[in-house]
Structure 1
Amino acid sequence: MKNEIVEMTIKEAIKERHMVRKYTDKAIPSDLVQLLDARLEETNKANDLNIKLITGKSDGLSSIAKLLLAKGVNNYIVLAGPDRADLDEKLGYYGADIMLYAQTLGLNSWWVGGMFNPNGAKSNLENKSVRINGIIAIGYGQTNGVQHKMKTADQISSYEGETPRWFAEGVEALLYAPTALNKMAFTVKGSGNKVSITCDSGHFSGIDLGIGKYHFEVGAGRDNFEWI
């Protein structure tokens, strides 16, 4: 029997997804694995990436993460690709896509930035020359998590003139984005249909910027503005 998929859009998933570090032993059904693999295959081909779903293993987590934070993590997504200047931003952007897509399938997730095991994760990849910058734990959480503390729109954004609805909705979606140490170090500026975004969160700035861009685009609608 097919697994019952929760009907949810990516935009709805932004508000429903929360960090979950503890999981049940329920395996991800094969039909959902196929859906996730198909989305990743399309993403990888279009963007020269090597993002991969690993099931039935926890070797992508560091020993400290397993000991102190995580419980029952038996599936994860490796965030990897050929090393280049924009790799981190790409991994952030498309990592956010697969994480939120997983939420629409009724799965929980945890973006693991600083406490992953690159050697363990790389052992599951055919191409060993790629660079890995994080993993996403995925599965059925013991709980659905709780909303992280959020900044306000005024703290991270500004718009020249009267703020259009699409910009406000983009910023709202951005406020739900997972970021390193929950810093939410975004600065978003808008004028007309032009939008700029920066992120100053140290080592994770590229990843966080990609995540932020994806969230903003989903909230604002990609056809309503241009990045500058």
Structure 2
Amino acid sequence: MEIFDAIKTRHSVRSYLNKPIPEQVVSQLQAEIDACNHEGGLQIQLITNEPKAFDGMMAHYGKFSGVQNYIALIGKKGGDLEEKLGYYGERIALKAQMLGLNTCWVALTFSKGITKKSCSINQGEKLVCVLSLGYGATQGVSHSSKPMESLCSVNGNMPEWFKQGMDAAMLAPTATNQQKFLITYVDDEAVLAKSLGGFYSKVDLGIVKYHFEAGAQSHSFSWR
């Protein structure tokens, strides 16, 4: 499966089968997590085979079931932490999709009770959110998107590479499907991405930027 195939087929899944993840798949996912931690200076952690992962209020209010694995998105506190974890977290989520797994972004407000038993959060670090992980009971469902013209700004004709980036960005998961971002074409070498506020919008912006890069991968540009 190629990256854009993963972008198109990945949907949020909250119910999982009682099916263990093979060690070979765990190893490949852990290798991707290690690479993201090294590149981003993060402490993202993979937790597997924890049957009580999303018990209690998590299962009731979040409507999760069968969750036995998750990825804790952790890093050093700082102004760019949420965006970085969104960017690298989505990279990991798409790798999981390519390995035949399903995921769901989970806000910290729902996950406060599940991590202290299994995660290592050092002084100066922060857990921002988690990704549930496993073999989904379904493959999830797609959600509607706002029109492209309301999510980006381009003066004149839209370059094909920018359009491909936007096609991918429009498929990015955002909190409550709010899509509160704006991507602006500056020139053929630069793109501006801005959060428009809202719940977890900095995490969302990181997710969107990873999607845009994946869609426009044949073109070299820098973020402004």
Q: Tell me the TM-score range normalised by the shorter chain.
A: over 0.9
The answer to whether residue 100 in structure 2 is matched with residue 126 in structure 1 is no
Paired letter, 2:138: T
Aligned equivalent of 1:47: 40
Give the C-alpha shift of residue 222 in structure 1. Answer: 6.7
Q: TM-score, normalised by structure 2?
A: 0.92
Structure 2 SS opposite 1:195: strand
Secondary structure of the corresponding residue to residue 146 of structure 1: coil
> Structure 1, residues 89-123: CA drift from partner, whole Å, max 9, x if none?
11000000000000000111111114432353133
3-state SS in 1 of match to 2:114: helix
- Equivalences for residues 147-158 of structure 1 within 5 A: 147-158=142-153
Amino acid at match of 1:56: N
**Percentage of pairs with the same residue:** 39
Distance 2:218 2:107 in 1: 27
Q: Would the aligned equivalents of 2:164 and 2:215 in 1 still touch at CA under 8 Å?
A: yes
Aligned mates of 1:48, 1:215 — CA distance in 2: 20
TM-superposition CA deviations, 1:156-189 (whole Å, max 9, x none): 1121221111100111101111111110111111
Check whether the contact 1:54–1:75 (CA below 8 A) recurs between aligned residues: yes
Which runs of 5 or more residues in structure 2 are unaligned?
none
Distance 1:201 1:179, change over 3 A: farther
2 CA distance for matches of 1:179 and 1:201? 12
Given that 2:108 and 2:130 are in contact with CA atoms closer than 8 Å, whether structure 1 keeps it comes out as no
Unaligned runs of 5+ in 1: 1-7
TM-score (norm 1): 0.91
Within a 5 Å distance, the mapping from 1:133-144 to structure 2 comes to: 133-144=128-139
Matched, 1:84 2:78: yes
Equivalent-residue separation in structure 1 for 2:210 and 2:181 (angstroms): 13
Note if contact 2:192-2:223 (Cα within 8 Å) is conserved in structure 1: yes
Alignment of structure 1 residues 15-94 onto 2, 5 Å = 15-57=8-50, 61=54, 63-68=56-61, 69-94=63-88
